[in-house]
């Protein structure tokens, strides 16, 4: 019998102070964002498959163009924020789809690099981390 069933039995037996069972399901926390550069929208999608098997792109539900999988941590700019969307487009076209990028440090070990805040910063970023870029079919 697994832990959850045992807890459920104990709960039924009246031991009410037990913690609620922590049911692990692939829920919305495994939703990925898909960004469409054409209409500047981002849509969260959840699939009942392993997150690493999620598609690299989907058809944009708004304009039917290609929407790129930009992972779980993408924060879409406002639709009207052209400068930020230009930066996002630049990054994606250079193979940076908001995957985790590591900064190599010999002294303190690797750490997570933050994504650039501006297009100007993005131009240095794609050069600096070129080896960590991925293939993006646009």
- State the residues that interact with Zn ion by CB under 5 A: 36, 38-39, 60, 62-63, 65
- Residue 15 beta carbon to Zn ion: minimum distance, rounded to whole angstroms: 52
- Residue 118 beta carbon to Zn ion: minimum distance, rounded to whole angstroms: 24
- Residue 8 beta carbon to Zn ion: minimum distance, rounded to whole angstroms: 45
Residue in 71, 74, 72, 133 with CA at minimum distance from that of residue 102 = 133
In the three-class reduction of DSSP (H, G, I as helix; E, B as strand; rest coil), residue 45 is classed as strand
In the three-class reduction of DSSP (H, G, I as helix; E, B as strand; rest coil), residue 68 is classed as strand
Residue number, 38 or 133, with CB nearest to Zn ion: 38
- Residue 89 beta carbon to Zn ion: minimum distance, rounded to whole angstroms: 13
Residue in 98, 99, 97, 88 with CA at minimum distance from that of residue 122 = 88
DSSP letter (8 states) at residue 19: P
Residue number, 57 or 125, with CB nearest to Zn ion: 57
Residue number, 74 or 129, with CB nearest to Zn ion: 74
Asked whether the beta carbons of 76 and 33 are under 8 A apart, the reply is yes
DSSP letter (8 states) at residue 64: S
Tokens matching residue 107: 């002294």
Residue number, 67 or 126, with CB nearest to Zn ion: 67
């Amino acid at each position: 019998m697994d832990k959850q069933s045992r807890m459920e039995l104990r709960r039924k037996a009246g031991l009410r102070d037990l913690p609620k069972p922590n049911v692990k399901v692939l829920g919305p926390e495994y939703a990925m964002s898909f960004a469409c550069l054409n209409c500047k929208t981002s849509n969260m999608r959840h699939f009942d498959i392993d997150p690493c098997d999620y598609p690299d792109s989907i058809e944009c539900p708004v304009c039917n163009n290609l929407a790129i999988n930009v992972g779980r941590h993408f924060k879409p700019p406002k639709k009207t924020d052209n400068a930020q969307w230009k930066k996002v487009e630049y990054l994606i076209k250079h193979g940076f789809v908001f995957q985790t990028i590591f900064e190599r440090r010999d002294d303190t070990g690797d750490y997570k690099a933050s994504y650039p805040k501006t297009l100007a910063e993005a131009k240095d970023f794609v050069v600096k981390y070129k080896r960590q870029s991925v293939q993006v079919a646009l």
